[in-house]
Amino acid sequence: MLCADVSGTPRVSATNAAAEADGIRIGEALADARAKTENLQVRAADPAADDAALRRLALWATRYTPAVAPCDEKSGADGLFLDIAGAAHLFGGETRLIADLEARLARFGLPARLAVAATAGAAWALARFQHATTILAAGAERAALAPLPIEALRLSAATRATLRRLGFRRAGALIDNPRAPFAARFERELLRRIDQALGRTAEPLTFILPPPVYHSLRYLMEPVAAQEAVVAIAQRLMRDIVHALTRDGVGARTLRLALYRLDGGTQTIDIALTRPTRSAPHVARLIALKLERGGETSAETLDAGFGFEAVGLAIAATERMDEEQTDLVSGDASGERGEERCAELIDGLTQRLGPHSVQRLAPVESHLPERAEMARAAGAEGIAWPAPDAARPRPLLLFARAEPADVMAQVPDGPPRRFRWRGVLHAVARAQGPERITAEWWRNGTEAPTRDYYLVEDDAGRRFWLFREGLFARETAAPRWFVHGLFA
């Protein structure tokens, strides 16, 4: 059994079948429980680990339906809701689906109580308070709930205690009585829960994965483990979806490949695209590249275990995609096609090299050179650059952090004469400047000193961009020098 601290006293928080047989009840003090039976095994409860395990199970359960919601405190703690509307027939009906689920859970060593009902509330109640697995026909909720205790309605502890004191024991008594007195006496929760259980109001569930727009799933006769096989299956799944995408005039922007392992684990591979696509080979290639990258970083390596028994491909986001207009004469649409191939190249590089490795430069309105541009994802729309100002030279290469240099100048606020940078002494042949750049004082917390930039050419013709930080005698007594960039 498990125990957890409740307001300073260790209390029983979960029991197994043997402990229940000995009369130990959830909620009693640990000392009382110890008095009831000898050889009691006690472990500390670990809610975080329980939660993580439940999430793992919820991910696995997406093999039955993409809409799986782990119950949280709001919807009534520990358990899973599976929205099997429209998915049951794939398994040969609700009975077969439940039997399959029960058998698989039993194989993992997880005892489970299952129920199927038209509302989440009714299913919750039946799973907990009906001993046999029940499949309830729609419309029969009222009759099924009536004999159950009031706990079956997912009420808060305070409401339950009040109801018990008033003599209500069965849910049926609450359902059949007139509503007005309840509405006056209790929080809105009571009537809301009843309505939810009976299907009078809708209950929104928070699904573990956003429900996909398009989904395709394949159960395999033989489990697969090889990367090539997974990629080949993914391509076939994408080909299944393409018809629906073409019909609706959209293309996939975000994809998720879910691999269901034989032992209950789930692995997902997420892919984001620069442009919507409907091309199955392109998607397959991206998945292959992503898996190859996993081989190097081990973060997303394919961990097949005993093999995957099912593979699902979901499209989480789509975007409008117009039909390609091909030129009748030459048979190609070079402009559009070129853009698409460019997006494919960016996607391919991004999948293999990581999300921030493929970038495009965009201008930023700032005087500070290091702020004057930023790197954006290459797929984003390009921003037009302003025309360059001939009076302000800018280097071809800019260091991310300006590098300190030892500078000899004739006068402290004059141009440099000689400087040592990266251990090499450069004699300055010509210096052009200064260009004075002040810190952005309107930004919070920038008390940076003024910079004087010089374009410096050494005697070998190498051109550097140096700056002196701080105005001599006004801002600092010993200004420091930095090399900020290199000119071509």
Which listed residue (177, 206, 359, 446) binds another protein by CB under 8 A?
A: 359
Residue 227's alpha-carbon distances to 129, 188, 260, 282, 284, in angstroms, are 45, 53, 14, 16, 11
Residue 297's alpha-carbon distances to 66, 149, 342, in angstroms, are 29, 54, 26
CB 450 within 8 A of CB 470: yes
Strand boundaries in 72-150, DSSP class E: 80-82, 115-116, 134-135
Residue 429 as a binder of another protein (CB under 8 A): the answer is: yes
Query: Judged by CB under 8 A, which stretch of 97-105, 185-193, 252-260, 390-398 contacts another protein?
Result: 390-398
Residue 186 as a binder of another protein (CB under 8 A): the answer is: no
Residue 368 as a binder of another protein (CB under 8 A): the answer is: no
Using alpha carbons, select from 466, 460, 452, 462 the residue that is nearest to residue 487. 462
Which listed residue (141, 344, 452, 469) binds another protein by CB under 8 A?
A: 344
CB 464 within 8 A of CB 486: yes
Residue 6 as a binder of another protein (CB under 8 A): the answer is: no
Minimum CB–partner distance for residue 378 and another protein (Å): 5
Please name the residues in contact with 374: beta carbons below 8 A apart, sequence gap of 6 or more.
361, 362, 364
Minimum CB–partner distance for residue 457 and another protein (Å): 6
Between CA 243 and CA 253 the distance in angstroms is 16
**Could you tell me how many residues of this chain bind another protein (CB under 8 A)?**
51
Minimum CB–partner distance for residue 384 and another protein (Å): 6
What part of residues 438-477 is at the interface with another protein (CB under 8 A)? 455, 457, 460-463
Using alpha carbons, select from 143, 98, 131 the residue that is nearest to residue 116. 98
Between CA 224 and CA 233 the distance in angstroms is 10
Q: Report the residue number, 215 or 451, with the smaller CB distance to another protein.
A: 451
Residue 427 as a binder of another protein (CB under 8 A): the answer is: no
Residue 354 as a binder of another protein (CB under 8 A): the answer is: yes
Minimum CB–partner distance for residue 285 and another protein (Å): 11
Which listed residue (149, 399, 413, 476) binds another protein by CB under 8 A?
A: 399
Number of other residues whose CB lies within 10 A of the CB of residue 116: 20
Residue numbers at the binding site for another protein (CB under 8 A): 338, 341-342, 344-346, 348-349, 352-354, 356-363, 369, 372-373, 375, 378, 382-385, 388, 390, 393-400, 429-430, 432, 455, 457, 460-463, 485-488
